[in-house]
Structure 1
Amino acid sequence: MGDKQIQLTIHWDSKSHQKLDFYNFYWKKPTGLNSLQDSINLGSDNSVHWYGGMNTHEQSWPIKKNDYKSTEFVTNDVYQTGVTGQERYWLSSKKVVLNVPWSVPLYTSLQNNELGLQSKLDEDSSFLLRNNFLEYTLAVPKEWDKISLKDFHQECFELFLAAPTAHPSLEIINKPIWSTWANFWKAVDQNGLLEYAKQISDNNMPISQLELDDMWTVSYGDYQIDKRKFSNFSEMLKKLENEFGIKRLSAWVHPFVDADSEIGKNPELRNKLFVKNRDGDVPHVWWWDCPVKPGDPSKPVGPTNPDKKEPCAYVLDVTNPETREWWYKQLEALKAEGICTFKFDAGEINWLPHNYVLYDGAYPNSYGKHYAHFASRFGSAVENRYGSGTQQTNFFTRTIDRNSYWDKDGGLSTLIPWALQSSLHGYYWNLPDMIGGNGLNHNESNIRGEPPEEELYIRWTQSNTLLLAMQFSYPPWHSKYGGEVLNIVKKSLELRKKWMHYLIKNVRKAVEDKVPPMWWASDDNEALTIDDQFMVGSDLVVAPVIKSGQKTRNVYLPEGNWRNGNNVSEVVIGPTTIKDYPSPLDVLPHFYRTDSDDSGNGSSSIFGSPMGLFCSIISIIISLYFLN
């Protein structure tokens, strides 16, 4: 072939794996051509379903509803870009896996049931290596009819991805986190925090750790507790423990340093610590606490007249070991003052300066990988937002802020699909963020919102009840709510307590077996499309209500005998779909296998049953594999 021809090499590998065949596609473009593009038809009927790839703000499961235009496959804040790329792994229900290596400067799109793959050289690109090729691998089973979808995924998973090597803090699984974020926004201070702790204690609510969120330092980047807001920090910590039984205080941190902070104004540190551009300069970046000014007031508001984001900060280059050690010392000093652990925020590529250059990172997502590994130095009670290639860490990876909506737009309906997507990619330890969302549906700017309506708050609590972790901010005794909200939340927490031993057994087994805590229990086509229920292990089906005003719902049960968790005298034989299961506001629909219950008096008996422990082998009602 001549220099101006596109070269395609297809390598068929049928010998390296006992159960799988691989087809590697390698496209090379000639000099002068800046992009190569291929597309995969995802199927137009309802018999083919795809999972994985990009996460989107309006996450769906399967992904064919996640339409988006051509976008760099790198991590992004979905509030800014709508999509984020964590792992380049896609799975088809027809037992095909697509994997794209990180060496490819990949752009993807999902439109009209087609997944677009594009390798592009662009001066404005985030990709640091100027690779001139498009490469991807398709994996298929050697014997299609002799392997389940679950087992096929596990074979591919071990080759292309990774699983955790240890579990996160069991204390956080056992008891909820309580955060100041949505409830206080930036207005938190010592008196407010102590009053919040008192309310948690007075209402007999369980708590693993109290999370101090935005605006507790002197300025962003100066890691000093603001004495104007917290006049006696050590005394406050004593009161939290001695009067309210709260032993762990975590604090919100991020990689941004305000330009007018003491650290930001230090030229020596500025040149050592922060991300530089290709010219060797240290430019300002914009992040969500920087100013936003309206566009031209003489023109109509819209895409052609956008708001103006004013950069105001620098961003730490966590790929630089000198930066990591400097930051580590800052955070260790805060631990010496009594802060137990940290909530690490941001870490996505879109926060880096234009034409950035990392100290150590061949690929854009190297930044998030270093960031997550840095966070892991602070233990298993850490909360992190993003990583890439960091599944082996033992902390919670948080679903990015959810909005206080019911349907899509980052609302309740996206909670389970996001967690399923995370689990597919190996991020088992999912923290589903604040119960009820952050209130931002009431305003579009970065100012304090309002709590969600009662019904949404209750249904959100129920959706979280049997997931891996729970996190409250808006309290169920908020002045906006009546007493019914608190009563139903307490009922949900009692249900969680009954199943806690089973949850933890599955978490431990996931580490041992390298299988996600929730997975497919059936290749049935109906199960493959369910996006609003999930299984914990193989024995517990959970089907929360996620639609406004809904008082009944359909519940899918895989093969087996299932006892109704809300009416233990009722047993249902699966596979079947229960139509119009009664779901009044105080009811969380859930079923458990009868062969895991040797006393017949409810879910708590599963913990004493050898069969119950043995059967914590992990699987899910397809659409829902997710203790994470």
Structure 2
Amino acid sequence: MSKLKELRSTLTDTVTLPIQEGEYWYGGCVMDGPVYPFTRGADYRLDMINLNSPNQVAPSFLSTHGRAIWSNEPFSLRVVGDNMEIITRSPLFVDDSGKNLKDAQQTLAKHVFALGKMPPAEFFRMAQWNDWIELLYKQNQADVLKYAHGIVDHGFPAGIIMIDDLWAEYYGRWAFSVRKFPDAPAMVKELHNLGFKVMVWVCPFITPDTPEFHYLRDHHMLTENSSGAPVIRQWWNGYGALLDLSNPDTRKWLSDALHKVEHDTGVDGFKFDAGDPQFYDDNDVTRMHLTKTEGSQLWGQFGLNFPYNEYRVNFKNQGAPLVNRLQDKSFEWGTGGLSELIPDTLTQGLLGYYYNCPDMIGGGEYLSFLGKKGDLDQELIVRSAQCAALMAMMQFSVAPWRVLDKKHLDLCIAAAKLHTQYADYILALAQNAAKTGEPITRPMVYDYPETPLQFVKTQFMLGDKLLVAPVLEKGATTKTVYFPAGQWQSINDAADVVTGSGEQTVPADLSTLPAYKKID
């Protein structure tokens, strides 16, 4: 029986929720994955009221004791001793009817997630390719085609290809630059013939003093200040005006522009970037008086008009058929790099962002690659590919054939083909997620609550049948894995069957991704 409570903080008192003995909490912020789960005495706080996160965030938390908390509005939470202290501007809902993490997550699915739809199957079936690390801001037809042919010529599956920032002349003129792309329809047709779906990058910013800016300004379709002038906001590519997506005329203008790109060139969809809460302000003047988190939320909702979509930032919109990628990671093994892929990905799944893609293989933070051409850690790229291979999606950017020798290149090709090998299983999990809200990539404790804490960030379950334990440390040739009760057969050697429960150190040379399917 559901035990749903509605709590509120006042102008002087917080909501205080005791953390139970032995209880561990997940939630809120995807980039906080490495510090989840937290428990009594943790040094943890998350302020969603003054939010500044470049990844997915939701006003939801859930615990290993089956408790779930959520709100319709952002709140601020911190751990103080044995309690969570919460400041909230709207009702905080608490459901303590569950017994474990899975129960708590399913409570959120019931009350919060938008169930019923999923992104197109191509996102799950084959590796994705984003040309960002290869081309950066020098997008052009010849090099896009060179990149695409390199993919198939070296034996990789085609999949979805994303043409990143500056394919257009400037922000707001959403049409291929004829200087850079002299025949965009022919290019897209060639990419389709190679087996790719094609997506291009867009953002909610408008370059000032352009015809598009003048039109949007004169029709009050931009975010304004209190004097009625468009706000000009600094972002990573300079300064830009910001679309007011709470205005239906603005939504129609952008939707018409993007559908025209699809119609004129054959492009299949869009990578929706920016939209970070930091680019909005609660004092901005918009048609519907949006807060900064509502600005991010609405940017995410806009993508529902386009089945082929991708987001790095989202607020709420849990369970929606939106592809959510992790924030760009550094080309590193530890903090900020490979070690964060698993805990961040698991947090995405629990919060309802389960149509998720780990960051680009090796990392999408381009500054990590500058000055390292020909001097990249090839082992790190292989282990990054293996880590993503049995997640819901995987995405390459740096061209493996450019930076790897044949040995390491072959291992990356094998990782991409492994993902394709399990495509039907992954797609079935995505279909199940659309119906139930259950994550595709899951923490061990989701189906096996007895899993020791030290294994919850170093291995995961793909569905309830496949245990995956990627190698996350440089030079490692073994991996200590926790096996729940039952029989677990290695996907690499059918004769290798491990009986759980318990931990076991298994061989894991560079050619091996430790992964085991449950056979009883």
**1:286 is aligned to 2:273:** no
Matched residue SS, 2:102: helix
Post-superposition offset of 1:231? 2.0
Distance 2:427 2:488 in 1: 21
Partner of 2:283: 355
- What do the CA deviations read for 1:89-145 (whole angstroms, capped 9, x no partner)? 11122333232341xx633345777644235xxxxxxxxxxxxx674333223xx7x
State the alpha-carbon separation in 2 of the partners of residues 169 and 85 from structure 1: 21
1:94 corresponds to which letter in structure 2? H
> How far did residue 68 of structure 1 move?
5.8
Cα distance between partner residues in 2 of 1:66 and 1:405: 26
Tell me what 1:257 maps to: 206
Change (3 A) 1:577 1:40: same
Taking the TM superposition and a 5 Å limit, the aligned residue runs for 1:155-166 are 155-159=107-111, 161-166=112-117
Q: How many residues align?
A: 514
C-alpha change, 1:417 and 1:257, in structure 2 (3 Å) is same
Change (3 A) 1:452 1:357: farther
Q: Which of the numbers 495, 508, 519 marks the counterpart of 1:583?
A: 508
Per-residue deviation, 1:282: 1.5
Kindly report which structure 2 residues correspond to 1:507-546, keeping only aligned pairs within 5 A, or say none.
507-519=430-442, 520-526=446-452, 530-546=456-472
1:240 pairs with one of 191, 213, 217: 191
- Who is 1:97 aligned against? 68
Structure ID, larger Rg: 1
Partner of 1:206: 157
Query: Paired residue for 2:389?
Result: 465
* Structure 1 residue 554: Cα displacement: 1.0
Indicate yes or no: 2:8 matched with 1:26: yes
In the TM superposition, what whole-angstrom CA distance separates every residue of 1:557-607 from its partner, at most 9, and x where no partner exists?
2222111222211222222211x2111111000011224xxxxxxxxxxxx
- From 307, 315, 324, the counterpart of 1:388: 315
2:408 maps to 1:485: yes
Distance, in Å, in 2 between the alignment partners of 1:449 and 1:36 is 53
When structure 1 is superposed on structure 2, of 279-288 and 534-543 the one drifting more is: 279-288
Structure 1 residue matching 2:211: 3-state secondary structure: coil
Superposed, 1:291-306 pairs within 5 Å as none
Tell me how far apart the structure 2 counterparts of residues 362 and 331 of structure 1 sit (CA, whole Å): 24
SS state at 2:95 partner: strand
Give, in whole Å, the separation in 2 of the partners of 1:281 and 1:228. 33
Q: Secondary structure at the match of 2:481?
A: strand
Say if 2:165 and 2:201, in contact at 8 Å, map to a contact too: yes
SS at match of 2:432: helix
Are 1:407 and 1:414, in contact at CA under 8 Å, matched by a contact in 2?
Answer: yes
How much does 1:150 deviate? 1.7
Instruction: Name the aligned partner's letter for residue 287 of structure 1.
Output: W
Query: Does the Cα contact within 8 Å between 2:28 and 2:61 map onto a contact in 1?
Result: yes
Unmatched segments (≥5 aa) in structure 1: 1-18, 30-34, 79-83, 120-132, 291-311, 596-628
1:314 to partner: Cα distance: 0.5
Q: Which of 338, 341, 344 is the aligned partner of 2:272?
A: 344
SS in 1 for 2:8: strand
Query: How far is the alpha carbon of 1:154 from its aligned partner?
Result: 1.5
Deviation at 1:204, TM superposition (A): 2.0
What SS class does the counterpart of residue 77 from structure 2 fall into? strand
Q: Go from structure 1 to structure 2 and tell me whether the alpha carbon gap of 1:186 and 1:564 turns closer, same or farther (over 3 Å shift).
A: same
Counterpart-to-counterpart distance in 1, 2:328 and 2:462: 24
Scaled by the length of structure 1, the TM-score of the pair is: 0.76
The counterpart of 2:128, out of the listed 170, 177, 181, is 177
SS at match of 1:390: coil
Residue of structure 1 in register with 2:425 after alignment:
502
Residue 547 (structure 1) aligned with residue 496 (structure 2)? no
Residue 226 of structure 1 corresponds to which residue in structure 2? 177
Instruction: Give the C-alpha shift of residue 151 in structure 1.
Output: 2.7
**Alpha-carbon distance change, 58 to 286 in structure 1, aligned in 2, over 3 angstroms:** farther
Say whether residues 1:569 and 2:517 are aligned partners. no
**Equivalent position SS for 1:277:** coil
Answering whether residue 302 of structure 2 is matched by residue 374 of structure 1, we say yes
Q: CA separation of 1:207/1:57 partners in 2, compared to 1, >3 Å: closer, same or farther?
A: farther
TM-score (norm 2): 0.90
Extract unaligned runs of 5+ from structure 2.
none
Note if 1:88 corresponds to 2:37.
no
**Cα pair distance change 1:112/1:345, threshold 3 Å:** farther
Q: Using the TM superposition, give the Cα deviation of residue 162 of structure 1 relative to its aligned residue in structure 2, in angstroms.
A: 0.9
The one-letter amino acid paired with 2:28 is: G
Change (3 A) 1:522 1:331: same
Question: Is residue 160–residue 198 contact of structure 2 (8 Å, CA) maintained in 1?
Answer: yes
Is 2:330–2:368's contact at 8 Å kept on the other side of the alignment?
Answer: no
The equivalent of 2:243 in structure 1 is 316
Q: Which amino acid aligns with 1:589?
A: P
Residues 128, 394 of structure 2: 8 Å contact kept = yes
Cα distance between partner residues in 2 of 1:140 and 1:439: 40
Q: Is the 8 A contact 1:164 1:427 kept in 2?
A: no
1:528 Cα shift?
A: 8.2
2:517 to 592, 599, 604: 592
SS of aligned partner of 1:524: coil
Of the three residues 245, 255, 259, the one matched with 1:328 is 255
Q: Decide whether aligned partners of structure 1 residues 565 and 334 sit closer, same or farther in structure 2, where only a CA change above 3 A counts.
A: same
Deviation, 1:270, is 5.1
Aligned counterpart in structure 1 of residue 76 of structure 2, from 107, 115, 119: 107
Match of 2:49 in 1: 73
Answer whether contact 1:255 1:315 (CA < 8 A) is retained.
Answer: yes
Contact 1:252 1:344 in 2 (8 A): yes
Find the counterpart in structure 2 of residue 307 from structure 1: none
1:209, 1:249 within 8 Å by CA — same for their partners in 2? yes
Q: Contact 2:233 / 2:279 at 8 angstroms: preserved in 1?
A: yes
Alpha-carbon shift at residue 336 of structure 1 (Å): 2.0
Name 1:308's counterpart in structure 2: none
CA contact (8 A) 1:98 1:136 kept: yes
Query: 1:73 is aligned with what amino acid?
Result: I
Q: CA deviation at 1:218?
A: 0.7
Check 1:325–1:170 CA distance in 2 against 1; reply closer, same or farther (3 A cut).
same
Q: Per-residue deviation at 1:438?
A: 2.0
Find the counterpart in structure 2 of residue 53 from structure 1. 28
Which letter maps to 2:187?
M
* 2:483 counterpart SS class: strand
Report what 2:485 is aligned to: 559
> 1:152: Cα distance to partner?
4.2
Residue 355 of structure 1 deviates from its aligned partner by 1.6
Is 2:372 the partner of 1:423? Answer: no
DSSP-derived class of the 1:337 partner: helix
How far residue 334 of structure 1 moved from its aligned partner, in angstroms, is 1.0
Give the RMSD, CA atoms, in angstroms: 2.8
Cα distance change on mapping 1:403 and 1:173 into 2, 3 Å: same
Q: Could you tell me whether the CA contact under 8 Å between 1:535 and 1:542 is conserved in 2?
A: yes
Change (3 A) 1:149 1:587: same
Counterpart-to-counterpart distance in 1, 2:119 and 2:185: 27
Structure 1 residues 230 and 268, CA gap change in structure 2 (3 angstroms):
closer
Match of 2:86 in 1: 117
**Letter of the 2:145 counterpart:** L
Other structure's SS at 2:61 match: strand
Cα drift, residue 328 of structure 1: 0.8
Cα distance, 1:217–1:36 mapped onto 2, change above 3 Å: farther
